[in-house]
Amino acid sequence: MIRTRVAVFVAALLTLSVTATAGASVAADTEPVRFTLPKPSGPYKIGTVSLHLVDESRTEPWVGALQKRELMVSLWYPARDVRKRPLAPWMPRAATDRYLGSLGLAPGSVTFGRTSGHEGAPVDRRLGRLPVVLYSPGANASRSFGTGVVEDLASHGYAVVTIDHTYDAAVVEFPGGRVTVNPDGEITDFDKAAKVRADDARFVLNQLAALQAGGNPDADRRKLPTGLRGALDLRRIGMFGHSLGGAATSSAMYADQRIKAGMGLDGAALGPVVDGGLNRPYLVVDTPGKGGMATNPQLRKFWSNLRGWRLNLTLNGAAHNSFGDDALILPLVAPLLKLSNQELRELVGTIPAARALAFQRAYPRAFFDLHLRHRGHLLDGPSRRFPEVRHTR
């Protein structure tokens, strides 16, 4: 999944195939590159809260320290009365500065603005109990890079939990500004990473159950949003992820029957799920560049062992980083990093960014609508609205 270490902000957070071209530090007084996410398409305002979770049943698997496994997650949900509630940053400041510095970029050389999520806003309980979706990012990535698709799901009535997999993620910022990084620079043991991420997902589901019952799983006991207790429908849980996050999704589904439907965005399949398969709905999304099932025997074997609803979508013109916020960010930062047009095409393909965004807004929601809400027809077959999407049953 990671073929070479790429010293490119955001690009190195996902699976890439180019080498570093930005060796020199960008001066602090250079005009910053500014990125702002498009507004979500749904009818509901969005609330968000970050949670610091500590798994007392596990020791940290990556650094060999006798410490408990700890995670940072964010919960996104439809909200009411968002007045006077500040908008959450796309990525916390200390984490952003740390990662920029590690790539030779000055703090502030790339700014990401605010999300559409209002910190701590009350949950909109008029919608009843909310279906729940977990999101796992790509290898060496951050939960921030799925913000666009996650916000859009929340604006349509989902509760979505994004997970930073500590010491797998490039940077994780904990309360008080403490930042952890991958001590080796990147993850290379993907089978182990998929297993650790699956365990992380199961732990997060346990914490959601405690939250649903009225507990506060935050390790620092920070205040939770009003209305969160009882707001989640834990009978309707889905999961999706990009790249290694897709492998984590299928592995978590294999380990935990609570996850009713899964989706991998240009991901793989690793571990026992390859031979064991799944008896629940799974959607494989791949790209012509990375190859997907065309070149990945493990993924083809996983596909052949799927016993429930299944669908393979290929997004023509896309490349591996056409998913998540990278599809919009990479074209903006390419001049700053001196990426050639060819290198940029290798990252995000030839698909226009607006079409990549349209896919991400339509298809994940259509999948979870179908399997968690039992409605919708976009996945029935090819759509005139999306001529770049190829269907395989």
Smallest Cα–Cα separation from 327: which of 164, 147, 92, 106?
A: 147
Residue 1 falls inside a structural domain: no
Report the number of distinct structural domains present in the chain. 1
What is the pLDDT at residue 178?
95
Q: Give, for all 393 residues of the chain, the pLDDT tens digit.
A: 333 333 333 434 333 222 223 333 444 456 788 989 999 999 999 999 999 999 999 999 999 778 999 999 999 999 999 999 999 999 999 998 887 776 667 888 888 889 999 999 999 999 999 999 999 999 988 999 999 999 999 999 999 999 999 999 989 999 999 999 988 888 899 999 999 999 999 999 999 999 999 999 999 999 999 999 999 999 999 999 999 999 999 999 999 999 999 999 999 999 999 999 999 999 999 998 777 888 899 999 999 999 999 999 999 999 999 999 999 988 988 887 788 999 999 999 999 999 999 999 999 999 999 999 999 999 999 999 999 999 998
Tracing tokens 């700890």 back to the chain, one arrives at 70
Domain extent at residue 305: 11-392
Residue 168 falls inside a structural domain: yes
Smallest Cα–Cα separation from 20: which of 306, 339, 371, 344?
A: 339
What is the rounded distance in angstroms from the CA atom of residue 358 to the CA atom of residue 323? 11
Q: How far is CA 268 from CA 85, 273, 285, in A?
A: 39, 11, 10
What is the rounded distance in angstroms from the CA atom of residue 79 to the CA atom of residue 189? 39
Residue 57 falls inside a structural domain: yes
What is the pLDDT at residue 144?
95
Over residues 171-213, the pLDDT tens digits come to: 999 999 999 998 888 889 999 999 999 999 999 999 999 999 9
Residue 165 falls inside a structural domain: yes
Across the strands, what pairs with 143?
A: none
What is the pLDDT at residue 26?
44
What is the pLDDT at residue 29?
52
What is the pLDDT at residue 23?
34
What is the pLDDT at residue 14?
36
Residue 386 falls inside a structural domain: yes
Q: Is the pTM of this model over 0.85?
A: yes
Question: What strands, in cross-sheet order, belong to the sheet with 114-119?
Answer: 87-89, 114-119, 45-59, 68-79, 159-164, 130-136, 232-242, 261-265, 282-286, 310-315, 389-392
Residue 5 falls inside a structural domain: no
What is the pLDDT at residue 30?
63
Q: Residue 153 — φ and ψ, nearest 5°?
A: -60, -45
Residues 199 and 329 sit within 8 Å (Cβ to Cβ):
no
Residue 25 falls inside a structural domain: yes
User: For the domain that residue 22 is a member of, what is the CATH number?
Assistant: 3.40.50.1820
What is the pLDDT at residue 253?
98
What is the pLDDT at residue 327?
93
What is the pLDDT at residue 104?
65
